[in-house]
Amino acid sequence: MGSEAPRMGKWAFMPASSDRAQSEHATLCHEGGEIELRYSSAVFEDFLKAIEVIHHDFDRRSQDLDASRMCADDQVRLRSLV
């Protein structure tokens, strides 16, 4: 996942710490409150990773679509100049 804590609306997802002195579970944080994800942290982290992949793929495909439209527009302009 990215360098920032992933967000779900107003809530931030904090992955489980590798430090044994801290909580071994991921948490959702908002306005000083925390919800410890004891049973679902691995599933939730996998879900966020899947959403991130979908988001990046959507952005990439949208840019490809915009680029292909620009190419078509440029071709129309060039034909009109001839």
Domain assignments of the chain as residue spans, ordered by start = 7-81
> What is the per-residue pLDDT across 4-34, written as a single tens digit (0 to 9) for each?
677 778 888 888 877 655 567 888 899 989 9
DSSP per-residue codes, the chain: --SSPPEETTEEEEPPPS-TTS-SSEEEEETTEEEEETTTHHHHHHHHHHHHHHHHHHHHHHHHHHHHHHHHHHHHHHHHH-
Task: Quickly state the pLDDT bin for 53 (edges 50, 70, 90).
Answer: very high
* pTM > 0.75: yes or no: no
